[in-house]
Amino acid sequence: MNSIKISAPAKVNLFLKVLNRRKDGYHNIITLFERISLADEIEISKIPHGIRFKSDKPITADPKDNLAYKAAESILKYAKAGKGVQVKLKKNIPIAAGLGGGSSDAASTLMGINKLYNLKLGQGVLIKLAKKLGADVPFFILDKPFAIARGIGDRLKVVNSDLVLWHLIVCTGSKISTARIYGMFDASSKCLTGCASDDKISRSLRQKLDFNTVESMLYNDLKEAAVASAPVTGTILERLAYTTGRRAMMSGSGPSVFCLNRSRKEALKAKRKLLTGLPAGNKNGWQVFITKTYN
């Protein structure tokens, strides 16, 4: 096998509570991740040495700054493979949208190279490498649809469920810096150095994970800061909730927002309601997706 193709699925945060700011500048959180079917496509090929990286969309000015490149560099160095790879990336997940695209690309690159070169590195080793690349990267190594994450997002517990959710996701294209959103949250919050964990997620997960339970627990501590930074995010949240009759929530630090649906048919209907009568100019730069839980 000289090459391998692998999907890199996106994620949404169904619940996101910021607990406190750490001394290292990061934040401790508790979140419920869900892996979804919107995915980037990665092709990894063997080359004699070095790393070549290509993307169909510009992501970083220097390819070496891309997380997928860093992942390739990390695993080849760790395994002392003495070989090289070419990584070709086709981006379908919006960039810097709160959907974890870069993190998923990194995780998929780790897993792909491990398989391509038959390195036989266990999941524990891959998660260890993933933690050094970014807070969300370890979740994608789990290769499971649902997980609770604590710490900076790297302490994980799989939630076993065969639940399939459908989502209507809207990304406006607004550029929102994660660091800026957390900074705005800190400035407006009393929860800077320590606070009690919100156990809503724990209470909910004692029940069977079903549609009503998940929809009732939708929450994101960073929503107000993101709306203040990009008011269109708030506008879409309100319109999405009003036109669909569903709760609407933001994923990660935004700007992507979503609502849950029970079926693809219901999600398509929600999409039509959302977009009907909306002036074309208001939708400039929008990307609208219908996705489902990626099992």
Catalytic machinery residues? 11, 136
Residue 259's SS3 state is strand
Distance in angstroms (rounded) separating the CA atoms of residues 96 and 10: 12
Tokens of 149: 């994450």
Exposed/middle/buried for residue 197 (C-beta within 10 Å: 0-12, 13-18, 19+): middle
Residue 43 identity:
E
From start to end of the chain, where are the E strands? 3-21, 27-47, 51-55, 84-90, 146-150, 155-158, 166-171, 219-220, 248-250, 257-261, 287-292
Distance in angstroms (rounded) separating the CA atoms of residues 75 and 42: 16
Distance in angstroms (rounded) separating the CA atoms of residues 58 and 280: 26
Q: What angle do CA 133, 8, 77 make, to 5 degrees?
A: 40
106 neighbors 119 (Cβ within 8 angstroms): no
54 neighbors 69 (Cβ within 8 angstroms): no
38 neighbors 289 (Cβ within 8 angstroms): yes
C-alpha distances out from residue 292 to 14, 87, 276, Å: 13, 27, 23
